[in-house]
Structure 1
């Protein structure tokens, strides 16, 4: 019986392997092309520079206004000055502004009632200020190169804290990233793999709060997949490579897989942090260890001062979350939670007034007067005051 040969079986398998190999190659080629296009239109620094990044820990800063101290390489800001402001400064060796593009402040412990600004002084004694944005429990890196006043020789740096301190603020350090692309690229890549703290949508995907909002992970990978598919179509039209449905699915699944790996890695990091934060603690200690532990501790002290019977409590805070969660902690008392204090005509004798992270309200201890906007004032007894938060009882 003659042996029948299949001359096309081996080459066909080789072609199939090449098509599957083409999927990751097209994907990463697409990622490289889009990265270069993104940098071309968004990178405002230099492409090449020999300047090294600068960094200092928080203990290198000096308190100019407010109360604070250095502790284990950090600066602890525990109190504000009379104008509800604190200033911590640093006088580094003079450097040229054009050599550095991004300022990164590592700060923890701030609440929504706190505003922060970055201040710098030039060699010609001119002072400039730029606001810092607090998002996802961290300060966003400040791309200072976009500020037209960031020029000349810089001799002083400072951070300004304004508002009401519900808890001490820790300044862990400050770093200045080189304006060159090689110097900034490691930080840009690191931001893509930085931990995104747990949010309501984290069970489905990573929101991208730890990286620039211009390129969140899901959108970025989707665009990479579309370009990779377009490249495969171009190669097919040019008859360089046949268009295979398996290769198309390979490109899509590779993008999906990368997002899923990023998501799983983020969840495992969050799991470890959650274990460190809450494991082995009592119900009360878990609340105190949470991000809103200061609010829980304040409400615990408020309830300790209230009578057993249901009382009417007027609770005010500038932060919507603190209003809702604080009111929950005060139940079953009769709680009215608002942003702004009402006219005095709506406040009754015997009412309790609780203030948490609330600006624009003053207390005159000598006359026992609580005062707020529109020259409103009312006679009260101060039951307790802690870190700018207070409980009063109306006369």
Structure 2
């Protein structure tokens, strides 16, 4: 049974919500980031980039402490307020093509430990520990883990009832996404939501494996330091965005490679022919049409690659995943790329921006060959998580991407 916990969010005052909300730090270009820091004193970037105040880069423990200080300043200046009663928060994003809607609440660290919250990606221990130290120092979290659950009519009905009223926040950002936030504080509705999650079984991490792992480490760490630990403390939970499976949008990542591992173009194609039926599609854009079918761009031309299934063994759900299949048949044996995380010959492009950008980068000589595929499905993600397996890195790009600073979880 899955646990969802209401919390007292710290959040911006209504008049400043649109000014505070920010994308993830890495998603901004340097010029964009500098402009926001210079012209918007309320932007959440001032908190997570505290060195800007002193015109210098700050790292490590000093940065963590300064993040804490900037956050406290926002609270002292009443840019942030805290709700008086524990609540869930209904958050909706409306883009030109999609609408995403889910519940912000606390997920249980014990559920993570007991695999009620299921994972499909490996995490790096050093990153887990670093982010745990960050959380412990700053005392808050503003980046929800994206958790997905089976569609549920009762929860949908409650969400629809709440969202039929006026929103606490409604604002549109420069990327033409409209954001809405409602507070769900009615005790009966909170209990009904909790009961439904308790009955539905497992939930799955869609995005945020390192955040989940770090939050679990934090809970274990603070538990040991607290002789009066009860299990009800805020650190036993981590802020998550619970969204129905059907409401996720999953995109693929393309793979782009520098060089051909010492092979000529002709030798590379001959080695590739062992695994795939290859057809030259010319210079016009070409996209894959089904699973185990790839598009390849090389030397100004597109190729279709159809797997020769008679020589490839499908042994489990991971082996049927296209990102794993490409690794096992091309990236490792032919191109010599064994470490998908750290080999600087491979780069990843989000399929959300399609293969046009991949073609452009290869035409400019930044990469030699690129591969495109269809997105992973939710069913594939669940099967891999259920079997305790792990996807290759950059297997999925999942929307929605939430803004930082709209709701903050203190512990």
Q: What TM-score do the two structures reach when normalised by structure 2?
A: 0.25
Greater RCO, 1 or 2 (C-alpha within 8 Å, sep 6+)? 2
Higher Rg: 1
